[in-house]
Amino acid sequence: MLAAVSTDAHRWEPGPFVLSYRIGEVALFRRRFRGLTLRTHFFDLTDDPATPPPPFDCLSAGVDVIVTRSHPVRGSLPVVTVSDGVLRYVLARYTRYHTELAGDFETYLSKFSAKSRGTLRRKVRRFLELGHESEMRSYKRPDEMETFHGLAREVSALTYQERLLDAGIPDDPNFRQELVNLAESDSVRAYVLFLYGRAIAYLCCLSVNAILLYSYLGYDPKHAELSPGTVLQYLAFESLFEEKRFRALDFTEGQGEHKRFFATHETPCADICYFPASPSARFWVGLHRTFDRTSVGAAAVLDRLGLKSRLKRLLRRL
């Protein structure tokens, strides 16, 4: 098995890399590769996609693909380029959102318009005034992780993320032990929102170098009218600003109005893959581009017909 590779202050770690061939939110099939992935957080990268330079010599030493995720970029990048026997594939481009946790909570709230601030506070107040154990509870100590995980799993099993995207909070002993290990170094913050004493939403943030990652979240769709995700996010931020332990909350990959709304900063980023320019790699990359274009085109047609949001809601109820 290939060992990790270090170049200057950067570390490339081996592990499986998966390309998902999707139509919309549904993965039809997946292709696994032996990958080498850059583990530097995007806060510590420049906007030059060639920095740090990938260790291309590893592509002839048991590695199928070298991956840099969430690399800050500036301007346009061609989706596919081939140079010196290496195929570079810009897998995705997106905005990465994060919230700086310096200062105090009231200063943070001032980023919102007066109308948005009022709406947020009304939603939170309305929820908390339900009483009877309608509240948020936080979990950060090692002896609290088993309780948190059990509550989060109850909620996760109800979410569309788990049913359709296989993106719920993991239900395995290794992950539970990871939570305990992180808690021992004060590197996890977890929150559960209760309605009348029953868990209806959860948020689990793992920390790297004092940066919290928006790792796992979900809410019971039966209580969507109470805006549980928004209420939980507001209360979690209130707690994080008060304790002043972390630099920022990184909303990680993926778009969403929720992330854009709560973030204080945004960074254009790209996921970039480097394959050997072999016939096999060209086939799998070309097929992935075809699926991607088909998915985007189908989404555009549904949007013009006014069906996209309705279809998404239907899929999430299945």
What pTM did the predictor assign? Answer: 0.81
Q: Is the pLDDT of residue 74 over 60?
A: yes
301 confidence band (pLDDT: 50, 70, 90): very low
What angle is formed at CA 36 by the lines to CA 29 and CA 49, rounded to 5 degrees? 100
pLDDT-derived band at 308 (thresholds 50, 70, 90) equals very low
User: Using an 8 Å Cβ cutoff, are 99 and 300 in contact?
Assistant: no
Q: What kind of fold does domain 102-246 have according to CATH? A: Aminopeptidase (3.40.630)
Tokens of 58: 């590893």
49: DSSP letter: T
Phi-psi region of 59 (alpha: psi -120 to 50; beta: other; left: phi over 0): alpha
* Token pair in block for residue 286: 């070309």
Residue 241 pLDDT exceeds 80? yes
Residue 232 has pLDDT above 50, yes or no: yes
Q: Are 90 and 78 in contact (CB under 8 A)?
A: yes
Length of the chain in terms of residues written: 318
Mean pLDDT score, 16-42 = 90
Token pair recorded at residue 216:
């796992």
Buried b (16+ CB within 10 A) or exposed e, 277-315: beeebbebbeebeebbeebeeebeebeeeeebeeeeeee
Q: Whose CA is closest to 111, among 237, 253, 21? A: 237
pLDDT of res. 22: 85
pLDDT digits over 181-205, tens only?
999 999 999 999 999 999 999 999 9
Q: What sign does the CA torsion over 190, 193, 198, 200 have?
A: negative
What's the pLDDT band for 107 if we cut at 50, 70, 90? very high
DSSP 225-255: GG-HHHHHHHHHHHHHHHH---SEEE--SS-
Least confident of 18-32, 97-111, 168-182: 18-32
pLDDT at 147 over 80: yes
Task: Report the percent of the chain where pLDDT is more than 70.
Answer: 88
Domain boundaries, the chain: 5-94+267-317, 102-246
